Chain A
Amino acid sequence: GAVVSQHPSRVICKSGTSVKIECRSLDFQATTMFWYRQFPKQSLMLMATSNEGSKATYEQGVEKDKFLINHASLTLSTLTVTSAHPEDSSFYICSASPHSPSAGRGTDTQYFGPGTRLTVL
């Protein structure tokens, strides 16, 4: 149980185009989903926290107009990189926290997706 999927796993796009990455919790409902970015040989950096039905909270230094996050349901969050540029090339990882502690999992538990490798040419 507690599986999180991401689609696509890899994407290559041209500079100036927009790319959408989906994050789905497959067997649980997620009140909160998180988006991280990982540079080579570096840590995961939190970009934003999204709660179902409300606006995402972005970390300092993350452009909300460039990285659009939508969390329209309890099982799906999307990250859209708008007008992508080569410096946006990175590994994007999402995670999800279960909806209810009574499901046997505390709210401090995050289940991670396998990541999406974005390359902008």
Chain B
Amino acid sequence: GDSVTQMEGPVTLSEEAFLTINCTYTATGYPSLFWYVQYPGEGLQLLLKATKADDKGSNKGFEATYRKETTSFHLEKGSVQVSDSAVYFCALKTGANNLFFGTGTRLTVIP
């Protein structure tokens, strides 16, 4: 079945460090891929998405490229800020309108 495997956290980085959170997926067909972010006390928010192979989603300095050959959608940011501290979820969607989520990765950025 469809599933998402996400890098376990927690991840702690200093401000301005480079961030990578790994995500790989298993899916039948051609899924759309997403990164959601959950800030403390808030609901999940869509951070970025990609709908086909080689697409790059980007938002707020974060990027992820849909790699079909490695079935991956790793999240990257060149220079993290304290305000990026949150839980990040990788997710996929196939034909149906429901999302399959990874377990989430908690990121803490320290000044």
Contacts and interface: CB of A to CB of B under 8 A. Distances in A.
Interface residues of B, number: 19
B56 interface: no
B60 to A, nearest CB: 17
Contacts of B104: 43
Contact of A4 (B4, B36, B43): B43
A108 B33 CA distance: 11
Contacts of A6: 43
Closest 6 CB pairs of A and B: A112-B43, A112-B44, A114-B43, A43-B101, A44-B101, A43-B103
Given A32-B97, A114-B43, 5 more contacts: A43-B4, A43-B104, A44-B89, A93-B44, A113-B43
Interface in B64-104: 89, 93, 97-104
Q: Which of A43, A49, A108 has the most CB of B within 10 A?
A: A43
Interface in B41-55: 41-46
Interface of B: 4, 32, 36, 41-46, 89, 93, 97-104
A80 B100 CA distance: 23
Contacts of A95: 44
A110 interface: yes
A97 interface: yes
B105 to A, nearest CB: 11
Contacts of A13: none
